[in-house]
Chain A
Amino acid sequence: MGKKTNLHGYDAKTRRMMEGMAEAENNALAARAEAEEECECKEGMFPSMDRRGFLAAAGAVGAAGAATLATRGAAAAPPGAMDYPIQKDPTSEQGRLTNADGGYGSRSQFESEVRWRFPTATKESSWTMTPLDKSEGIITPSGLHFERHHGGIPNIDPAKHTMTIHGMVGTAKTFTMADIKRFPSISRQFFIECSGNGLTEWKKPYLKTVQGTHGLTSTTEWTGVPLSTLLREVGVKDGAGWILAEGGDAALMTRSVPLDKCWSDALVGYAQNGEALRPEQGYPLRLLLPGWEGNTHIKWLRRIEVSDKPFMSREETSKYTDLLNGGKARQFSFTMEAKSVITFPSGEMKLPGAGFYEITGLAWSGRGKVKRVEVSTDGGATWANAELQGPVQSICHTRFRFPWKWDGKPAILQSRCQDETGYVQPTIKHLVDARGLDGHAKFGSIYHLNAIQSWGVDSDGSVKNVHKY
């Protein structure tokens, strides 16, 4: 699609960005195609990269990827897997020894889906997308959770890490990780979505897969201390209204957060899906603001300063603001609004023929629970309710399923969700009418795209990213 899409009219930086993103996706798709070629399951509607496909993908990413591969050898298993001998008949001989993995399990070497990186100029300031096309249920495996870094991934010794709360407080305090873990904790499942999710899709369909169009959202069970507990510990002074949260990475990432959010459901988190945070998710400590744009969930949290006013950091002025038609920019657009997407079937899959399919996808809202998801198979002319997987949780990915008997004719699949506030997921046209397309040249507002996604199914079963509204 990158080659065919007319990029005339975009500014140079936008063109480079879009071309780069398309190239990364194309690399992944090329690897997948190669895997399919040597696979018997050519008609497979669930194409997956095998080992050779993975090698091709990693090699195509660049010199660094190739170097990594060289050290691992040609027989290396996909990331997150170990290479074990393949048994001809597992019933005729004993399997591998108990605990031979050293006590920490890995996925099967036959599973190879990975995050892929947006090819930004540097690998320190970059992001990766979650492979939603393969997602099951609502939880994102920790190793597939999307990433956004501004100064690389710091390697922090938790024994030396501290978090200080100061400013308009009664007693400024420094907490070690041991201190933090002594406080009463809570665990909660919720999504984090980057507000740049879908940034290429404002004007025309651009990326091909759901990983490319929607891969900057993930759901995790997070564990930590309510920030309110820590604020009571230090005492907040009269007149305070905001905090500054600061990370201990090379970017010293900072965002201002209204105090009200800190008192309600903010968490200072140290665990993810039952174990310590992954380094790329903020190890050992991360601020978590359920329902708010991903950038505010400050990773590697080292400092919180309480103040009366926002600090106007670079990330809340120059970035993460939505420039509208007319030249004004919306600021502090924290909440991620209701959104849904069909993950199967989705872009670049191929249905093997007419007949029954279970359409499935994810819906979520930063304002609460998903109340309803509707699916259309005729481009929005008619809608019917999908079944929601329970329990439906607030501010959490919600899996929906919809039985569909495909007649083999061209179809356009869409999903539309409504959250418990009554808000209904809009079309791209609704958003553009309200905000304009001038945020980033003619590319769109970049941030906060929560529109209905359309997947076109051709009569040959191929599925493509299309716009229909």
Chain B
Amino acid sequence: MSINIKNLTLGGCCAIALSLGFTIDAQADGPYGFGSAASAADIAKIDIDVMPDGRGAPSGSGTYAQGKKVYADKCSACHGADMAKPVKGTGAAPLRGGRGTLTSGKPKKTVESYWPYATTLFDYTKRAMPFNEPGSMNNNDIYAVVAYILAEGGIINKKTTMNAKALAKVKMPNRNGFISDPRPDIFNYN
């Protein structure tokens, strides 16, 4: 523990040192002033995340029809034409199907069956997809392909135009499927 000596009289300082055993350190204990202020423009370049309530979702929009093209161009080579069966050897995850399987003993986790928020689909696609060229799709492309994937999964209407507002409104089937970690859950204390 150190105390900023500038704020203390010499007497007060010694009294604390004697009564509580503190080491008085005359050196500054921060803030140190290192680093430079980040401008809004600097932050905007890297602040790409989208939160479940839609915060961070950029402007732009896309439709099912546009998304179908984007999907064929950027996604289907790995995720497969029908989204349910990824192409072997690519490591891609199935995006569609599996609803109702989480209690079956043979759960099939997909965007449709498992992901709790549509914003996560936008966020992840924007930051990491397509695998061979991450960051190469613009916001309109991503909104469009999100619309296509969600509509193919029967979660939204094919006529829905996807944008920042619509994205936050999507109710994913497994929205309430997650609970807090209660561990420790095993009690062999002795």
Q: A residues near B, CB below 8 A?
A: 11, 120-122, 124-125, 150-151, 164-166, 171-176, 179-180, 182-183, 229, 232-233, 244, 246, 250-252, 254, 302-303, 305, 307, 309, 311-314, 317-318, 321-323, 326-335, 337, 418, 421-424, 426, 430-431, 434-435, 438-442, 448
Count residues of chain B with CB under 8 A from any CB of chain A.
56
Q: Which residues of A contact B89 (CB under 8 A)?
A: 121
Q: Which residues of A contact B90 (CB under 8 A)?
A: 121-122
Judge whether B184 and A317 touch: CB under 8 Å.
Answer: no
Query: How many angstroms from the CA of A442 to the CA of B114 in the assembled complex?
Result: 17
Asked whether A317 and B116 contact (CB < 8 A) given A174-B36, A329-B177, A442-B106, the answer is yes
Identify the 9 closest CB pairs spanning chains A and B, nearest first.
A121-B91, A252-B127, A327-B103, A424-B188, A327-B102, A333-B181, A314-B124, A173-B35, A426-B186
Q: Which residues of B contact A180 (CB under 8 A)?
A: 34
B61 within 8 A of partner (CB): no
Q: Which residues of B contact A426 (CB under 8 A)?
A: 186, 188
Judge whether A331 and B38 touch: CB under 8 Å.
Answer: no
A248 to chain B, nearest CB (A): 9
Q: Which residues of A contact B181 (CB under 8 A)?
A: 322, 330-334
Q: Which of B104-153 contact A (CB under 8 A)?
A: 104-109, 111, 114-117, 119-120, 123-124, 127-128, 131, 134
Judge whether B43 and A183 touch: CB under 8 Å.
Answer: no
Q: Which of B36-63 contact A (CB under 8 A)?
A: 36-38, 42-43, 46-49, 51-53
Q: Which residues of A contact B46 (CB under 8 A)?
A: 164, 246, 302-303
Judge whether A254 and B186 touch: CB under 8 Å.
Answer: no
B190 within 8 A of partner (CB): yes
Please tell me which one of the listed residues A171, A173, A313 contacts residue B124 in the complex, with CB atoms under 8 A apart: A313
Between A and B, how many residue pairs show CB distances below 8 Å? Answer: 180
Interface pairs (17), CB distance under 8 Å = A151-B131, A172-B37, A173-B36, A174-B35, A232-B31, A303-B46, A312-B116, A314-B128, A318-B111, A322-B181, A327-B107, A331-B181, A332-B181, A418-B190, A424-B188, A430-B188, A448-B183
Q: Which residues of B contact A305 (CB under 8 A)?
A: 47, 49
Query: How many angstroms from the CA of A176 to the CA of B42 in the assembled complex?
Result: 14
B11 within 8 A of partner (CB): no
Please tell me which one of the listed residues A182, A323, A430 contacts residue B102 in the complex, with CB atoms under 8 A apart: A323
Please tell me which one of the listed residues B92, B111, B128, B190 contacts residue A150 in the complex, with CB atoms under 8 A apart: B128
Query: How many angstroms from the CA of A165 to the CA of B190 in the assembled complex?
Result: 44
Judge whether B30 and A317 touch: CB under 8 Å.
Answer: no
Please tell me which one of the listed residues B34, B179, B189 contacts residue A179 in the complex, with CB atoms under 8 A apart: B34
Judge whether B107 and A440 touch: CB under 8 Å.
Answer: yes
Q: Which residues of A contact B117 (CB under 8 A)?
A: 312, 317
B180 within 8 A of partner (CB): yes
Judge whether A435 and B185 touch: CB under 8 Å.
Answer: yes
Judge whether B189 and A424 touch: CB under 8 Å.
Answer: yes
Judge whether A122 and B131 touch: CB under 8 Å.
Answer: yes
Asked whether A438 and B105 contact (CB < 8 A) given A232-B31, A250-B128, the answer is yes
A177 to chain B, nearest CB (A): 11
Q: Which residues of A contact B109 (CB under 8 A)?
A: 318, 323
B137 to chain A, nearest CB (A): 14
Q: Which residues of A contact B124 (CB under 8 A)?
A: 313-314, 318
Query: How many angstroms from the CA of A303 to the CA of B45 in the assembled complex?
Result: 11
Query: How many angstroms from the CA of A115 to the CA of B147 in the assembled complex?
Result: 42
B106 to chain A, nearest CB (A): 5
Query: How many angstroms from the CA of A151 to the CA of B49 in the assembled complex?
Result: 18
B112 to chain A, nearest CB (A): 11
Query: How many angstroms from the CA of A11 to the CA of B105 in the assembled complex?
Result: 11
Judge whether B35 and A250 touch: CB under 8 Å.
Answer: no
Judge whether B30 and A232 touch: CB under 8 Å.
Answer: yes
Query: How many angstroms from the CA of A250 to the CA of B34 in the assembled complex?
Result: 28
Asked whether A250 and B134 contact (CB < 8 A) given A175-B35, A312-B52, the answer is yes
Q: Which residues of B contact A440 (CB under 8 A)?
A: 107
Judge whether A330 and B179 touch: CB under 8 Å.
Answer: yes
Judge whether B103 and A175 touch: CB under 8 Å.
Answer: no
Query: How many angstroms from the CA of A56 to the CA of B51 in the assembled complex?
Result: 49
Query: How many angstroms from the CA of A438 to the CA of B114 in the assembled complex?
Result: 14
Judge whether A431 and B186 touch: CB under 8 Å.
Answer: yes
Please tell me which one of the listed residues A183, A303, A434 contacts residue B34 in the complex, with CB atoms under 8 A apart: A183
Asked whether A318 and B114 contact (CB < 8 A) given A172-B38, A303-B46, the answer is yes
Judge whether A175 and B107 touch: CB under 8 Å.
Answer: no
Judge whether A233 and B30 touch: CB under 8 Å.
Answer: yes
Judge whether A328 and B35 touch: CB under 8 Å.
Answer: no
